Structure 1
Amino acid sequence: MKLQRLFSVACIALATTLAVLPGGASAQTPGVLRVATDATFPPMEFTENGARTGFDVDMMNALVKAMGKRVEWTDIDFKGLIPGLIAHRFDAAISGIYITDERSKVVDFTEPYFAGGLVALVKSSSTIKTVTDLNGKKVSVQVGTKSVNFLRDNFPQITRVEVEKNQEMFDLVGIGRADAAVTGKPAALQLAKTRTGFRVLDKQLTTEAYGIAVRKDEPELKAAFNAALAKIKADGTYAAIVHKWFGASAQ
């Protein structure tokens, strides 16, 4: 009985060892691409009726299909996307991630798949007209996003209110605990369109490019993504996804 128990324990230990790769990642299923996102950023990625949806979700599904694979999604807070990718918890990350010099030091990015940028969102009744009007005021930003560093480096007189979730930024503006939120243009425009009482300042703060993040030690995956992106642009799939989420004039 004792030997049988020892044998069972040994089998469990062996199975656990085989199921885990260096860096803490689970063994990958052939033909599956593990992709992480923070599905709280409509219209890029969000959940609706219990299902994950959005521009980035459609884009990734189309890319993976063009690569002859299927996607396995992981939901994670935005600030954990890059660390989780480096730790081999998943193979790629798509979540309205701007290609920046700072991020490019630790991960690689595909070719840009969409143009974006930072904007400021305020209440419709606000007298704020430009970002400089926010000096001395409170602005909500999401932890781990470019908004944090942008305000820190360019508008040090603005008091940043850093929150974990995208929706929290907007809620703080709505209840008056922040005078504005600085976030990506698609999300800000989506909120102003679907929720009354908000408007986006006319002048865009930055012009950015969205990219899919991959590890630096996997150039083949980066190349495969870029080839798939070229393929779906050539066959009309890309244009259809853009039109679905942003209209005919988005690109």
Structure 2
Amino acid sequence: MKRLFTLALLAVIVFSAYSGGKDDQQNDKLIVAMELQFPPFEMADADGTPRGISVDTAYALGEYLGREVVIENTAWTGLIPSIQSGKADIIISSMSITDEREKVVDFSIPYAASGLTLLINSDSPVKSYRDMNKSSVTVAVKSGTTGAIWAQENIPNATIQIFDEVAACALEVSQGKADAFIYDGLTTFELQKKFPGKTKVNLENLPGTLGGWGMAMKEGSPMKKDVDAFILEFRASGGFEELEKKYLGEIKAVFDEAGLPSFFDVQ
């Protein structure tokens, strides 16, 4: 009886080891964290259904990996904690690759690139970033973004107001409570259309801000090599180009006219 019990226990251990060795990349769902507040990259329909460039990219990645994709709408400041805690497998949320973030997550190779630009109040004396490092200037930024970091490092004399939502930053500018809002070109371009006459946009990239976006994973994640391979294959097959045509036709034309690189002009 003791021998039978030992054999049964050994079988359970072997089975458990085998099951664990199969890796969650094979059969489990791929939990993708993103903040659905950045159209047309990350957004949701009226019924809450996620859609956009990052959503389509996530489903393409899931197909490549052979895993069912589940999109988790996550507040921006909770994105990195979500993969550190294991609540999500990967972040695909227009996240810039920075030295600070690379200390706590593993990034894929860049799949897109963007710089920071300005939404400016129409009555403000601010015309560009060159006018902002003054005590008389108030700048709105979103918490936890590269715009907030840039402001703190480059315009220390300005008053910096930090908000949790893009909408709050834009409202401050439209009402003249802030001179400018620092964010990516696509967002500032779209926000200006929401506040015509009250705002203007400067699409010139702020110095040192043009950088790549990466998909973020927990440090040491075995997924990284497969995610990198997917990005290369998806780019070579025209996947990103198709998404650009589907979602970014108007802004790409504006960028082309201004001589600025589009989001998927990644070197």
TM range (shorter): 0.7 to 0.9
Q: Of 14, 32, 38, which residue of structure 2 is paired with 1:41?
A: 38
Which position in structure 2 is the counterpart of 1:179? 179
Q: Of 233, 236, 247, which residue of structure 2 is paired with 1:234?
A: 236
Q: Of 66, 78, 86, which residue of structure 1 is paired with 2:64?
A: 66
Structure 2 Cα separation of the partners of residues 232 and 100 of structure 1: 23
Structure 1 Cα separation of the partners of residues 242 and 193 of structure 2: 21
Instruction: Give identity over the alignment, percent.
Output: 30
* Contact residue 118 and residue 180 of structure 2 kept, 8 A: yes
Judge which range, 179-188 or 29-38, deviates more.
29-38
Q: Which runs of 5+ in 1 are unaligned?
A: 1-26
* Contact residue 43 and residue 187 of structure 1 kept, 8 A: no
Deviation at 1:29, TM superposition (A): 9.7
Q: Of 213, 230, 244, which residue of structure 2 is paired with 1:210?
A: 213
Deviation at 1:196, TM superposition (A): 2.3
* Contact residue 122 and residue 181 of structure 1 kept, 8 A: yes
Structure 2 Cα separation of the partners of residues 195 and 55 of structure 1: 25
Which position in structure 1 is the counterpart of 2:245? 243
Structure 1 Cα separation of the partners of residues 53 and 124 of structure 2: 30
| Residues 187-226 of structure 1: pairs in structure 2 closer than 5 A | 187-193=187-193, 195-197=195-197, 198-205=199-206, 206-218=209-221, 220-226=222-228
**SS in structure 2 opposite 1:204?**
coil
Question: In the comparison of the two structures, how many residue pairs are matched?
Answer: 224
**SS in structure 1 opposite 2:39?**
coil
Deviation at 1:71, TM superposition (A): 1.1
Q: Which runs of 5+ in 2 are unaligned?
A: 1-23, 257-261
TM-score normalised by L of structure 1: 0.82
- Post-superposition CA distance 1:177-234 (Å, at most 9, x none): 211100122221232345523322142102111111101121x211111111122122
**SS in structure 2 opposite 1:69?**
coil
Greater Rg over alpha carbons, structure: 2
The code of the aligned residue for 2:63 comes to: K
Deviation at 1:53, TM superposition (A): 1.9
* Contact residue 26 and residue 67 of structure 2 kept, 8 A: no
Which position in structure 1 is the counterpart of 2:126? 128
Deviation at 1:66, TM superposition (A): 2.1
Structure 1 Cα separation of the partners of residues 104 and 77 of structure 2: 14
Deviation at 1:125, TM superposition (A): 4.2
Please, what is the CA RMSD of the aligned residues? 2.1
**SS in structure 2 opposite 1:122?**
strand
Structure 1 Cα separation of the partners of residues 26 and 60 of structure 2: 19
Which position in structure 2 is the counterpart of 1:54? 52
